[in-house]
Amino acid sequence: MGLSRHNSPMAQSLNIAITGAGIMGLSAAYALSQTGHKVTLYDPLMADGGFPADNASLMAGGMLAPYAEIEHMPAAFIEAGLEGIKIWQNITPEQIIQNGSLLIAHDEDRYILERFKQHLPPEKQTSAHTLEPQLSQKFTGSLYLKEEAHLDPAPTLSKLCEKLKALGCNFQSSTYSPHNKDYDHIIDCRGMGATQDDPDLRGVKGEILIVQNKEFSLSRPVRLMHPRYPLYIVPRADNIFMIGATNIESAGDGVSLRSGLELMSALYSLHPSFAEAQILEIKAGIRPAYPDNLPRITVKDNVISCNGLFRHGFLLAPVMAECVADYIENRHNKFIDLFWRDNNDPDHQRSEKELRSAA
Ligand SMILES: Cc1cc2nc3c(=O)[nH]c(=O)nc-3n(C[C@H](O)[C@H](O)[C@H](O)COP(=O)(O)OP(=O)(O)OC[C@H]3O[C@@H](n4cnc5c(N)ncnc54)[C@H](O)[C@@H]3O)c2cc1C
């Protein structure tokens, strides 16, 4: 990154409103409060006292997986994703587990793993199928992505709220319209709440299953590469596992019977002990996404909108938040161009300079 925000003097303390306390709003609140700005965070779903809101962020897998997600974003985002992991390690180091992640496939599906490897630089194409002993006999083909990390969203978001309170952030359990002009800046992080103002935004449903299986353990997220039922499984405390997730072009609620069956049979194919697992929850979340599935920072007057985080809210929100803080303080951030998108621009990119002059 360019200048370190934490070492340089702040020009002026600004009065900033943030609408939305998902991972984007909380990350922005952290980056801006830490710099000494006066931040008020609005979200009607947030309980009084600032406990995390029940939104898409609370439902996420919490994987910080820039390489495993390479089929869903251009390679230029890998570096930003690695930066995201670094920022998380500064914000809530106790919540981050950096044991990498493992991609596996049944023997008949190994071609999918081989095809996936082609997206990665040769030095990242490492096999390590013995890393997860309960899977190593059945799945001999594997890909180990050792820089990747994961976190559990609920305790991490709670911790982040605590840190924000300590930094003096003001929590308001109510809506706020970014059209109001009574703050120096408004950071619009409403996720799907912004669809009325942003016709490009759409919802992509992700269905998840949470189970407890005392006969099984994992040290890292595992992705099963499968032609019809790709699945990931993220370990949490107490032998609890989050299994996800479908990518359905719909913003409707609820989990279909078919998706439930597919998730459960793919899970059972991973290890037979899941036959006796206890189902704790089965639910769906809506990911805010733009047509290119890439997140955007857009600026209009004093409103800075950060949205479209799709499958990568935990991975990329902290990086976008630092871009916003650096932008407000007129500092260079090498990632800002990555997030600026303009549909009228043939290559969908604008330089930081143009972004500033648009403000
Ligand atoms: C099943 C599933 C699994 C996922 N797994 C991962 C993963 O492993 N790793 C990863 O990086 N990402 C993952 N994601 C993606 C990630 O969850 C999203 O990208 C992220 O939650 C988007 O965050 P957000 O803050 O933009 O939106 P949200 O979390 O939806 O938050 C938006 C908030 O804005 C509030 N709001 C709306 N209107 C207003 C208003 N007028 N005033 C004030 N507040 C308002 C809403 O109440 C809401 O709380 C997953 C998503 C799903 C659904």
Q: Per residue of the chain (359 residues), give pLDDT as tens.
A: 333 344 455 568 999 999 999 999 999 999 999 999 999 999 999 876 667 778 899 999 999 999 999 988 999 999 999 999 999 999 999 999 999 999 999 999 999 999 999 888 877 777 777 889 999 888 888 999 999 999 999 999 999 999 999 999 999 999 998 888 789 999 999 999 999 999 999 999 999 999 999 999 999 999 999 888 889 999 999 999 999 977 788 777 788 898 899 899 989 999 999 999 999 999 999 999 999 999 999 998 899 999 999 999 999 999 999 999 999 999 999 999 999 864 444 444 445 445 445 44
Q: Is the CB of 191 under 6 A from ligand 1?
A: yes
User: What single string gives the DSSP state of each residue in 312-350?
Assistant: -HHHHHHHHHHHHHHHHTT---TTHHHH---TTSTTS--
CB contact set of 257 (below 8 Å; sequence gap of 6+): none
Alpha-helical segments (H) within the chain: 23-34, 56-59, 76-91, 110-117, 153-166, 257-270, 313-328, 336-339, 352-358
In the chain, what are the domains?
Answer: 5-62+152-201+291-358 (3.50.50.60), 101-146+202-289 (3.30.9.10)
Q: Is the CB of 222 under 6 A from ligand 1?
A: no
Report CA(310)–ligand 1 centroid distance (Å): 8
Locate the ligand 1 atom nearest the alpha carbon of residue 316 and give its number. Answer: 11
Q: Is the CB of 61 under 6 A from ligand 1?
A: yes
Q: Is the CB of 53 under 6 A from ligand 1?
A: yes
Report CA(286)–ligand 1 centroid distance (Å): 8
